[in-house]
Structure 1
Amino acid sequence: MAFTMDSGSALLSPMSAGLFLVSIVAYTGYVCYHAFLGVLADLPGPFTARFTNFWRVKSAASGKAPAKFQNLHRKYGSVVRVGPSHVSVSDPAQIPVIYGISSKFTKSPFYNVFGGCHSTLSIDASVLITSDPVIDNKVYRSIFTLQSQSAHRILKASIAQKYSLSSLLTLEPLVDTVTRNFMSTLRERSQTAPDTNIAGTRLDLGEWLQFYAFDVIGAITFSRTFGFIDDGKDERGVLRGLEGGLTYGAVVGQVPGAHPWLMGNPVLQNTVLKIPAIAKNNPVPIVYQMIKDQLASRTSSEQTSTREDFITFMKKQHEKDPERMSEATMMNHMFVNLLAGSDTTAISLRTIFYLLMKNPHVYAKLQAEIDDADAAGLLSPILTYAEAQTHVPYLALVIKEALRIHPAVALPLERIVPHGGIQINSHHIPAGTTIGINAWVVHYDTAVFGEDAYSFRPERWEDDGSERLKVMERSFFAFGHGSRSCIGKNISLMEMGKFVPQFLREFEITWDGDEEWKVESNWFAKQTNVFVRYKSRERKASTS
């Protein structure tokens, strides 16, 4: 019997209807086979994960992915099926296997969603938020989104030297300028703010730490800040635009095949980006223009070799080898710095101060160490990184524990299982499967970090020479692991190592928000409502 419309005319011929039904049955059979009899059929996990990626999409869209992955592994064990061909692993022993330098596991298509798309229009029509610049209508894949190991190795080799700690420490004076501006701005604000009282001045510290991190990235990239601290607000909507793009990437990244039909589609992309509210908050044109202006005006000899910002370094590399460090490559690296270099540091700084306020005994211990070093004349007016490392040793433990408690990345770092598959415990994971480890899961492993894994206890990182400390170090995943670990790790550590003791030396802070902060997780686990009362401490203000 043919399918018909109410007019009686055939909608599908008997043969077409038959083929349609056969296709449905065949597809259903295929899905059911892989769900219950396929190579991943023996893995535990949510029932819906056998058939669809719904659990992963829902988890990413909920803003609560870290807790959901923790609960998942608590219920099902160390190897869990989270999609038809996706597996989440919680065994920290697998970190060097999956992510090690010699690993053949490549990045999954999840990262394609954070890339640009080909467009016939100008940069103003580039993707809402991307770490891949579109230059002359060509997409340049970044260090973050490249899946090819060899291509990543080549691109990273041209810039890796600049991300070394020794190289970054030559930029301390640029960071100090931003720090000095931050401290003086807050001091002036406390003298004029209408909500100042005996407890101090109310401040959204979380927001201001984002301003600081963004201005530092601008300073070390091309000796110019974004002006966030001076403005005291996100005047151009750059931060709002970043947030929207990260949410899109986190959710659509669970089904990357949908990206070419959404913001990966030039027609839809260009249409959406013309909507005034979205166009206003698109950070890409702003960042692009800043980079373009600096590349056009800067020469490699404008700075001394001891204070060589990123653009000066790249200009010199360009003069030596214009093919390896082309202008497109320079723009590529600067996009990564400016669009991806502040969020993680701001998240980590919020975590440190929040946990200090929520754990007064830790706050008091760190404060005493800073004050003792200050009273002994061991600290410069603006602390150097070396001074903080040498004379405030407890700080390193506080930072490490804060990053364990609240890692910046909220989702698993996805990789593709290579030829031959992988054996994890009693499970064989075949080649082609997408596999990943979530820092929020391994960082709370009680077998590694003890029964108090959910407690903030910096002392757990004290070097007692025990095997347990070595296991904890191997299980620390805040910056990823191996050759694809966060290239900006040393930038973040330098900022935290300098800023935290400087701020605590100059200001006293107390919690003034709700009982808890608010954490909304997309790609990053970002905190809001970090309200404090701050007031200047009784000490001589910095003058240099």
Structure 2
Amino acid sequence: MGVFGILSLIITPFAQLVFSVFGFVFTALVLRIVYCQFFHPLSQFPGPWWATSFSLVGAIISVKHREPQFLTYLVNRYGTDRPIRISPTMLIFPRPSAARDIYWDPKCNLKSGLYGTGALGPPSLFTTLDGEQHRQLRKALSNAPWTIGQLKNRWEHRFDEQVIIFIEKMREHVEAGRVVCLSDKVAEFAADIMSMISFTNAFGCVKNQRDEKLILTNWRIGLDFFGFVGRFRFFREKIIPMPYVGRYFLPSIDNELGMGWLMCEADRQVTAREKLVAEKGFDDTPDFLQHCLEARYSDGSPLTPVQKRSHVTLLIQAGADTTGTALGSILRFITTTPGVFDRARAEIDEADRAGHLSTPILYEETRRYLPYFVACIKEGVRLNPSATNLFARITPKGGKVIDGHFIPEGAEITTYAYVMQRDKKFYGEDANDFRPERWLESEKRSNELEAVQFSFGMGPRICIGKDIAYMEMFKLLPEVVRRFDIEVLQKGKYVVAGGVAYNQHFMGRFVERMKGKGIM
């Protein structure tokens, strides 16, 4: 037998195996497409066949940072009158009128599996899927200062200290003539606020003018994986649970920077505080760490050791860079939209001359005396939501009517803040424009806009840090506009990765405006 004869004996079986595998895979893919397009319970709803057949498509779009653009394209193509199918199992409702049906109904209080991947660290209030478990856990943590009233009474003076440090550090940049990343500077402020509330002492990002332990940087890097694993259902349900796989992909306390360091720091702080309480008690203003240690379920039992540590990091995880994104986006809108900065400055000056403003400006002063600035904040949050994620719920047994459409049981149903808050039928033809005046047209209209604002979620699972974020925005931003002119050199861009947004390359200079008052 010649060489070619021997090769044929080897290659032919191999080729047959390859073709057999290829044929099996091809047949399986075709059958999946046919099922998803014609026989799946959601096949009646419109959506592109490639996205509605394979959840991998949505994962790739997320990793490429194109999710808002993709969903906007779908809304423009299919309209807003019907829910749009965006994956094999998920429907998005484009209209604001659907939000209440999804997020206020207790029967829809089961979160989709996107939350339970472990990509954001140990289980916490945010990642709890079951509605009843979430209710019990949230009630256990209800002693923490979430509401604006408690924040004003217990923490606003500490916010003032951080605002003062921020202004002083920006003055140093002014004197040195430095160009800074404006969006990063306000994000560092947000990281300090969240770490201060969590651990009493801020990490020192503003004081040291750097991203301490690369908390923000590593958070942004990790968003791509969070988006991929959350959207690719097969990977989420089959690959991550495999032995040792999760340990490789998911964050651990072994790292020296970023999320790993934060988890390690939470463990250290909890251990040290428990020892302090056991030996001497705790008589300082309770921070979130202390509230986690004192939290009790209805039967009197405390949080587990893992829950204590995961919830200590929750505010920083969920609120540091997201609030920083809101601060940066609003500042960019104010400084780059013609006429807005001048009007906002004039309002501040008028309130200042009337003696209405403290130094730094208090939350309540912004709310009462700076209505246009408040409108700027709300409009910026509307257009650039910090967490425009697929906050999906599972339809209950027997299905549910949502926004006039019957949805079968077991479906993932969601809105998407970036799309919903640009609905032209609700907001008008200028829905994509930054126009703060829309919030000042009438009290009735303002209430209508507020009722569908989804940037912090809605219903019993609304973001627990919402009021903390608004206090930061109401205090830092007007103080910055009050004290500085801002020369924008590069507008940068709003980036969405894994359903969470951050700002890139918003560059400029602070120019000191006036001296002689308070901290100036």
Q: TM-score normalized by structure 2?
A: 0.87
Question: Which residue identity does 1:388 align to in structure 2?
Answer: T
2:139 corresponds to 1:173 = no
- Which of 15, 24, 44 pairs up with 1:42? 44
Q: In the superposition, relative to structure 1, how do residues 327 and 445 fare at CA in structure 2: closer, same or farther (>3 Å)? A: same
Match of 2:206 in 1: 229
Unaligned runs of 5+ in 1: 116-128, 133-140
The 3 A distance-change label for structure 1 pair 536 and 295 is: farther
CA distance in 2, matches of 1:446, 1:389: 28
| Structure with higher helix content | 2
Match of 1:153 in 2: 135
The question of whether the paired residues in 2 share the 8 Å contact of 1:92 and 1:474 is answered with no
CA displacement at 1:28 relative to structure 2 = 4.7
- Determine which of 466, 478, 483 is the counterpart of 1:489: 466
What is the aligned partner in structure 1 of residue 102 from structure 2?
Answer: 98
Unaligned runs of 5+ in 2: 1-6
1:47 to partner: Cα distance:
1.9
Deviations 1:27-53 (A, max 9, x none): 854651342233322221112134212
Aligned position for 2:196: 219
Corresponding position: 1:189 with 2:159? no
SS, match of residue 86 in structure 2:
strand
Counterparts in 2 of 1:142 and 1:274: CA distance versus 1, 3 Å: closer
1:6 matches 2:9: yes
Question: CA offset at residue 63 of structure 1?
Answer: 0.4
CA distance in 2 between partners of 1:502 and 1:350 (Å): 14
Structure 1: distance between partners of 2:8 and 2:16: 12
Aligned to 1:406: 384
> Are 2:93 and 2:414, in contact at CA under 8 Å, matched by a contact in 1?
yes
Aligned equivalent of 1:135: none
Cα deviations across residues 269-301 of structure 1 (Å, max 9, x unaligned)?
Answer: 5456899xx945442234432552354145495
What do residues 176-198 of structure 1 show as CA deviations (whole Å, max 9, x unaligned)?
Answer: 2211111111212322x3xx1xx
Report the more deviating stretch, 167-176 or 213-222.
Answer: 167-176
Q: Does 1:352 align with 2:330?
A: yes
Instruction: Name the structure 2 match of 1:517.
Output: 493
CA contact (8 A) 1:461 1:469 kept: yes
Distance 1:411 1:509 in 2: 31
**In the alignment, is the contact (CA less than 8 A) between 1:5 and 1:11 conserved in 2?**
no
For the structure 1 residues 32 and 101, does the alpha-carbon distance in structure 2 shift closer, same or farther, using more than 3 Å as the test?
closer
Contact 1:397/1:461, CA 8 A, preserved across alignment: yes
Q: Is 2:415 aligned against 1:437?
A: yes
Q: Give the total of aligned pairs.
A: 504
Deviation at 1:238, TM superposition (A): 2.1
Task: Give 1:89's aligned amino acid.
Answer: F
Task: Return 50-59 or 156-165, whichever deviates more.
Answer: 50-59
1:329 and 2:307 are equivalent in the alignment: yes
Say which SS state the counterpart of residue 160 (structure 1) adopts: coil
Q: CA deviation at 1:531?
A: 0.6
Cα offset, 1:398, TM superposition: 1.1
- Rate the CA distance shift 1:187–1:34 in 2: closer, same or farther, 3 A: closer
Change (3 A) 1:319 1:9: closer
Which of 230, 233, 237 pairs up with 1:253? 230
Following TM superposition, by how much is the alpha carbon of 1:242 offset from its aligned partner in structure 2, in angstroms?
1.0
Alpha-carbon deviation of 1:82?
Answer: 1.4
Identity %: 26
Given the superposition, is the C-alpha separation of residues 441 and 258 from structure 1 closer, same or farther in structure 2, using an over 3 Å criterion?
same
Counterparts of 1:368 and 1:105 in 2: how far apart (Å)? Answer: 45
Residues 372 and 266 of structure 1: CA distance in aligned 2, closer, same or farther (over 3 Å)? farther
Sort the Cα spacing of 1:150 and 1:367 in 2 relative to 1 into closer, same or farther, 3 A. same
Query: Which is further off, 438-447 or 337-346?
Result: 337-346
The normalised TM-score by structure 1 is: 0.84
Deviation, structure 1 residue 477: 1.0
Please say if 1:208 is aligned against 2:185.
Answer: yes
- Shift, 1:77, TM fit: 2.2
Are the aligned partners of 1:210 and 1:343 in contact in 2 as well (CA < 8 Å)? Answer: yes
Distance 1:541 1:350, change over 3 A: same
Distance 1:353 1:22 in 2: 55
Task: State the partner residue of 1:61.
Answer: 63
Residue 283 of structure 1 aligns with which residue? 259
Contact 1:518 1:527 in 2 (8 A): yes
Contact 1:366 1:395 in 2 (8 A): yes
Contact 1:66 1:521 in 2 (8 A): no
Letter of the structure 1 residue corresponding to residue 95 of structure 2: D
**Which aligned pairs between 1:307-346 and structure 2 lie closer than 5 A?**
307-317=285-295, 323-346=301-324
User: Contact 2:296/2:302 (CA < 8 Å) preserved in 1?
Assistant: yes
Give the Å deviation of 1:218. 1.1
SS of 1:57 mapped into structure 2:
helix
Q: Aligned pair 1:364/2:342, yes or no?
A: yes
Contact 1:240 1:281 in 2 (8 A): no
Instruction: Give yes or no for contact 1:511–1:531 (8 Å, CA) kept in 2.
Output: yes
Does the Cα contact within 8 Å between 1:237 and 1:280 map onto a contact in 2? no
Of 287-296 and 314-323, deviating more is 314-323
Residues 1:527 and 2:503 are matched in the alignment: yes
The verdict on how the C-alpha distance between 1:440 and 1:180 changes in structure 2, with shifts beyond 3 A counting, is: same
User: How far has the Cα of 1:434 moved from its partner?
Assistant: 1.4
Q: 1:265 to 1:357 in 2, by over 3 A?
A: farther
Deviation at 1:241, TM superposition (A): 1.8
Residue 174 of structure 1 contacts residue 223 of structure 1 at CA under 8 Å; is this kept in 2? no
1:81 corresponds to 2:85: yes
> Displacement of 1:268 after TM fit?
3.9
Alpha-carbon deviations, 1:158-181, whole Å to 9, x = none? 113421222222111222221111
Tell me, yes or no, if the aligned pair for 2:487 and 2:511 is still in contact at 8 Å.
Answer: no
In 2, Cα distance between the equivalents of 1:34 and 1:491?
43
Q: Which residue matches 2:478?
A: 501
1:539 equivalent to 2:515? Answer yes
Partner secondary structure for residue 313 of structure 2: helix
Q: Which letter does structure 1 place at the counterpart of 2:501?
A: A
Amino acid at match of 1:142: S
For residues 433-461 of structure 1, the C-alpha deviation after alignment (integer angstroms, 9 at most, x for no partner) is: 11211011111111100111111111111
**CA deviations over 1:406-435 (Å, ceiling 9, x no partner):** 111233211111112133567532111112
Amino acid at match of 2:125: I
Counterpart residue type for residue 164 of structure 1:
T
Distance in structure 1 (CA, Å) of the matches to 2:298 and 2:200? 22
